[in-house]
């Protein structure tokens, strides 16, 4: 099953017998010191009919701390949030955000990690949707989804360090952050030694939709990532890296996610840091 769905495919699926549950996960990283983005307000101003709002910071992550800015959520609380949004194991789920795709990918990854068998991301997000919007907030029937963690790969800091030596570890952040030239959010600039720079923004076209699968596969192959290689991805806090894991899935390459990412790694002064354009 493809990990993404086009707007036209979604419109057809909504008219079918097994219409998907829709999750609106609009979110964006706020500038340091600036006002936080209000995803719920954006949702209430207009969303795909029937979609339930999911708050990334509160329902797809636990509180910031030693394990990063967006650590894994409590599994029981995540399950409660998904059931409240109408998610059931036997019903397909489609997740979307405003168009960047990062937040939707985080929800997609969490649902896949906890065992949901049928989750896709709307390619291009709400910006690609040509159908009607609604402002009323639906009250979906309670779902029955029971999360069972471990269905897809998860890395901790030690696992990421080991994979950088034995496989392929991709850094999904912008190149200047990888090189250590700037660090607007986390305490230390640079990257995990051995990791390769692979900005997730290079996986999409100007309209925010993913590049064709064959182009993505060629890009990742040039970085040493292929179906027979163990691949991991990290970013700043495990959000844009989920988008790169999604891109790898589109290319047919499974990958593990280091959820703590650079925000966890850089918070421990004992962990090594590399700077410059080279992995080491």
Sign, Cα dihedral of 116, 117, 119, 120: positive
- Lowest average pLDDT, out of 24-38, 210-224, 251-265, goes to 24-38
Query: Do 158 and 241 lie in a common domain?
Result: yes
Under 8 Å CB-to-CB from 182, ≥6 apart: which residues? 176, 189
Q: What percent of the chain has pLDDT over 90?
A: 94
What integer pLDDT is reported at residue 32 of this predicted model? 65
Q: Which of 71, 94, 128 finishes a domain? A: 128
Last residue of a domain, one of 94, 128, 162: 128
Q: How far is CA 121 from CA 28, 30, 249, in A?
A: 17, 23, 11
- Give residue-wise pLDDT tens across range 59-88: 999 999 999 999 999 999 999 999 999 999
Q: For residue 92, is it within any domain?
A: yes
Counted domains in the chain: 2
pLDDT tens-digit series, residues 83-94: 999 999 999 999
The domain in which residue 123 lies consists of 4-128
pLDDT, one tens digit per residue, over 158-184 is: 999 999 999 999 999 999 999 999 999
What local confidence, expressed as pLDDT, does residue 37 receive? 86
Position 98 pLDDT exceeds 90? yes
The CATH number covering residue 13 comes to 3.40.250.10
Domain boundary among 113, 128, 143: 128
Is residue 235 part of the annotated active site? The answer reads: yes
**Catalytic one of 164, 235, 255, 259:** 235
Tokens of 23: 């999750």
Q: Which residues of 136-172 are buried (b: 16+ CB within 10 A; e: fewer)?
A: eeeeeeebebebeeeebbbbebeebbbbbeebbbbbb
In degrees to the nearest 10, what's the CA dihedral of 125, 175, 275, 153?
Answer: 30
What sign has the CA pseudo-torsion 140, 128, 46, 250? positive
Kindly tell me if the per-residue pLDDT of 118 is higher than 90: yes
Cα(216)–Cα(201) distance, integer angstroms: 12
> 122: helix, coil or strand?
strand
Q: Could you tell me if residue 15 is inside a domain?
A: yes
Q: Which residues pair with 103 in a beta bridge?
A: none
Sign of the alpha-carbon torsion through 227, 233, 239, 243: negative
- The answer, yes or no, to whether residue 210 has pLDDT greater than 70, is yes
- How high does pLDDT run on average in the chain? 96
The per-residue pLDDT for range 235-249, each reduced to its tens digit, is: 999 999 999 999 999
Quick one: pLDDT band at residue 31, thresholds 50, 70, 90?
low
Q: Model's pTM, two decimal places?
A: 0.96
Which residues are 68's β-sheet partners? 65
């Amino acid at each position: 099953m493809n990990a993404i769905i086009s707007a036209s495919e979604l419109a057809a699926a909504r008219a079918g017998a097994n219409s998907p549950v829709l999750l609106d996960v609009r979110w964006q990283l706020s500038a340091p010191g600036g006002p936080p983005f209000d995803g719920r307000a954006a949702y209430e101003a207009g969303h795909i009919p029937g979609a339930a709002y999911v708050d990334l910071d509160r329902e797809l992550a636990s509180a910031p701390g030693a394990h990063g800015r967006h650590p894994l959520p409590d599994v029981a609380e995540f399950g409660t949030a998904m059931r409240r949004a109408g998610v059931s194991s036997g019903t397909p789920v489609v997740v979307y955000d405003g168009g960047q795709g990062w937040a939707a990918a985080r929800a997609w990854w969490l649902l896949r990690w906890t065992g949901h068998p049928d989750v896709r991301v709307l390619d291009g997000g709400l910006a690609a949707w040509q159908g009607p919007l609604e402002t009323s907030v639906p009250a979906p029937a309670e779902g029955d989804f029971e999360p069972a963690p471990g269905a897809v790969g998860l890395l901790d800091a030690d696992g990421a360090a080991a994979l950088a030596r034995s496989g392929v570890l991709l850094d999904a952040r912008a190149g200047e952050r990888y090189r250590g030239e700037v660090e607007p959010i986390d305490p230390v600039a640079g990257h995990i030694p051995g990791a390769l720079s692979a900005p997730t923004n290079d996986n999409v076209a100007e309209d925010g939709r993913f590049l064709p699968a064959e182009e993505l596969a060629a890009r990742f192959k040039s970085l040493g990532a292929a179906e027979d290689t163990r691949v991991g991805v990290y970013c700043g806090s495990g959000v844009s890296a989920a988008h790169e894991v999604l891109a790898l899935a589109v290319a047919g390459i499974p990958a593990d996610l280091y959820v703590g990412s650079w925000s966890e790694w850089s918070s421990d002064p004992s962990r090594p840091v590399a700077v410059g354009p080279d992995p080491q």
